[in-house]
Amino acid sequence: MQSAPAAGPGGACAFQHDKCAASAFNVRHPRNHSSREAARPGRSVMTIANALTLLRLCLIPLIVVMIHEGRFMLATIAFVIAGVTDALDGYIARRFDQKTEIGAYLDALADKSLIAAAFIALLMAKLVPYWLVVLVIFRDLMIVGAVAIAWLLDNPIPIEPLMVSKANTAAQLVALATTLAAKGFGLPVPEIAFDALHALVAALTVASVAAYFARWFRHMAE
């Protein structure tokens, strides 16, 4: 997962992660990007790390289609592969000096898109409560809006991952993976375990948006 430099609307989705977030969409080993670490002149942006991020983006439609068609075993496998690329891209970027500014934005976009798409698809399959999906999506929209307002007021906020955001992203991914695996492989997960996961995701979602807005208000007051 990776963090990104201060962003305009085009990079707004990156505000949360720790990968946005961690999040989002951001479990986790973020690729840290700053203005000093932006792509150097002449450096190719098609690195192995960015290729893995693009693979994660390409897996999202497949996961959604598999869920819609009730092929939960394949959806689980694709989701796990996407999660592995999430861990690998950050490690490779740091280990082999492949950090790029576009990689930071792509990474955050992939994270949040994966989480949002999976939650919505599972909602349509009636496997997650609607209130949780509304909370997750609304949280991201609020953060995107806050970043956009800061940019419009010519006071862009630096993008830095928060620990609570990393924890939130981790909880979301675990909840999604558990739901898919239980359906796809017939795992005997008790209902109380799902209730606990949903409650944890909800609590961390509220806590993370509160932490981000506290930082946002402090920044805008400067």
Residues 138-174 as b/e (b if ≥16 CB within 10 A, e otherwise) read: ebbebbbebbbebbeeeebbebbbbebbbbbbbbbbe
Specify if 193 maps to a domain: yes
Output the pLDDT for position 41: 46
Angle CA(26)–CA(65)–CA(13) in degrees, nearest 5? 30
Mean pLDDT of the chain: 82
Specify if 14 maps to a domain: yes
Beta-bridge partner residues of 31: 2
Output the pLDDT for position 45: 77
Beta-bridge partner residues of 2: 31
Specify if 159 maps to a domain: yes
Q: How far apart are CA 109 and CA 107, in angstroms?
A: 5
Q: pLDDT, tens digit, for every residue of 90-143?
A: 889 888 888 887 887 788 889 889 999 999 999 999 999 999 999 999 998 998
Residue type, 185: F
Output the pLDDT for position 43: 56
Output the pLDDT for position 159: 65
Output the pLDDT for position 62: 97
Q: pLDDT, tens digit, for every residue of 8-19?
A: 444 443 333 444
Specify if 3 maps to a domain: no
Using alpha carbons, select from 112, 5, 6 the residue that is nearest to residue 60: 112
Q: pLDDT, tens digit, for every residue of 192-212?
A: 999 999 999 999 999 999 999
Give the lowest-confidence range in 12-21, 47-56, 137-146, 210-219. Answer: 12-21
Q: pLDDT, tens digit, for every residue of 61-91?
A: 999 999 999 999 999 999 999 999 988 988 8
Angle between helices 130-152 and 101-124 (to 10 degrees): 150
Domain tally for the chain?
Answer: 1
**Would the pLDDT of 38 be above 80?**
no
Specify if 1 maps to a domain: no
CATH of the domain at 212: 1.20.120
Specify if 4 maps to a domain: no
Specify if 35 maps to a domain: yes
Q: How far apart are CA 168 and CA 165, in angstroms?
A: 5
Instruction: Identify the domain containing residue 93 by its residue range.
Output: 9-221
Q: pLDDT, tens digit, for every residue of 163-189?
A: 998 899 899 999 999 999 999 999 999
Specify if 67 maps to a domain: yes
Output the pLDDT for position 15: 39
